[in-house]
């Protein structure tokens, strides 16, 4: 198994063309690479981070970010308000594969692959953080879906997204390929929704209060199948995996029309292997009115497609409360140079900051970007 994982990792790394070091990239150079709609601009908010993944905004109006490669949670400090992080406070450390972050009643909760912690007191100087394990026994990472993302709902419950243990298989643990719900103290475990292969990103719709989530489709069905998904995740519903792909299409290994007709179809589909991760509804006031309530989705990018796809941020435009159109919002992390595809960054997660800007993490370049609008809202 160790040899298999090593070979897989080498194949994954070799699927990316080597890019020049971007750690010293300037905002001017960034603006030349990243294409945005008119009147929007992008800046590097934080740099030199260790694989930054998921973010949340704290009650102190600071952005917190997980760095699972190091087992850290960082608090990004822009004390002078110039749009650049001067200091990263290490809030907690030694958290195995820490990923999802969420605040509840002033306390920061963090999800690792197999545990969920509550940070009762952040790290101060040489004094370590005071951490309580609230869920000690989440399923392990299986064959690659190791991330755990968390949110608190208006009902006071803790929602946890757990990916499958495999590409496509029959799971023995019902908590896999599901959204699981707990009380804040870790009690009351229940399956909220199932059939979600790897719903890395989850977010509450600001108006309907429904849970929305991305989902990464299975591999090895070709370049263009199956599409990745955005779902409205409802209690007690099944979203198809492993029996069905996309819009109730039977999986060639496990599916049947009878089973698939009983599953929930996606509300938005995205080109296969784009790898949608984090998503955020725009709830700020800085962007123009036509962006208010729209959904922004980070596409991490493909690793197993002959022609790469993803590596961008898309906007799902809503009309009368319904998703109507998916369009590119921020592109340029995938370059076409002399017939060669070069990846220099991979979008991961999005949050709307207190200033109304859209913040985007990049675990490949080690940046967090700030996307803002220059004109009147």
Give pLDDT tens digits for 49-94. 999 999 999 999 999 999 999 999 999 999 998 999 999 999 999 9
Handedness of CA 301, 317, 290, 205 (dihedral sign): negative
How many CA atoms are closer than 13 Å to the CA of 100, on its beta-carbon side? 29
Residue 110: pLDDT over 50? yes
Radius of gyration of the chain (CA): 20
Q: What is the share, in percent, of the chain residues with pLDDT greater than 70?
A: 94
User: 75 vs 55, 59, 90, 102, 348, CA distance in Å?
Assistant: 10, 12, 7, 13, 17
What pTM did the predictor assign? 0.94
Dist CA 35 CA 37 (whole Å)? 7
The pair phi, psi for residue 123, each rounded to 5°, is -60, 135
Residue pair 96/90 in contact (Cβ under 8 Å)? The answer is no
Helix (H), strand (E) at residue 31: helix 27-33
């Amino acid at each position: 198994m160790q040899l298999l994982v090593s070979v897989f990792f080498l194949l994954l790394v070799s699927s990316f063309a080597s890019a020049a070091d971007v750690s010293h990239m300037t905002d001017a150079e960034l603006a030349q690479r990243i294409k945005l709609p008119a009147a929007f601009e992008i800046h590097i908010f934080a740099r030199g981070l260790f694989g930054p993944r998921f973010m949340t905004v704290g009650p102190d109006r600071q952005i917190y970010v997980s760095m699972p490669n190091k087992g850290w949670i960082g608090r990004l400090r822009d004390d002078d308000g110039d749009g650049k992080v001067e200091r990263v406070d290490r809030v907690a450390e030694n958290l195995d594969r820490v990923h999802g972050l969420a605040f509840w009643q002033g306390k920061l909760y963090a999800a690792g692959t197999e545990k969920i912690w509550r940070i009762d007191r952040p790290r101060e100087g040489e004094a370590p953080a005071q951490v309580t394990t609230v869920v000690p026994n989440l399923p392990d990472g299986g064959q690659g879906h190791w991330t755990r993302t968390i949110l608190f709902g208006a009902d006071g419950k803790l929602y946890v997204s757990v990916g499958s243990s495999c590409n496509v298989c029959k799971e023995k643990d019902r908590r896999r390929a599901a959204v699981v719900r707990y009380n804040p103290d870790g009690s009351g475990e229940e399956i909220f929704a199932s059939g979600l292969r790897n719903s890395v990103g989850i977010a509450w719709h600001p108006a309907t209060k429904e849970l929305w989530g991305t989902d990464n489709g299975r591999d090895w069905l070709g370049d263009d199948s199956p599409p990745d998904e955005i779902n409205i995740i409802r209690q007690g519903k099944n979203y198809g995996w492993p029996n069905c792909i996309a819009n109730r299409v039977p999986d060639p290994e496990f599916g049947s029309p009878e089973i698939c007709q009983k599953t929930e179809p996606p509300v938005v589909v995205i080109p296969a292997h784009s790898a949608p991760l984090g998503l955020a509804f725009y709830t700020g006031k800085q962007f123009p009115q036509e962006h208010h309530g729209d959904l922004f989705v980070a596409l991490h990018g493909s690793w197993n497609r002959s022609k790469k796809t993803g590596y961008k941020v898309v906007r799902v435009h809503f009309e009368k409360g319904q998703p109507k159109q998916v369009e590119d919002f921020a592109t340029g992390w995938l370059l076409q140079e002399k017939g060669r595809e070069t990846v220099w960054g991979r979008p991961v997660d999005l949050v709307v900051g207190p200033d109304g800007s859209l913040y985007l993490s990049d675990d490949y370049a080690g940046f967090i970007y700030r996307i803002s609008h220059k004109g009147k809202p």
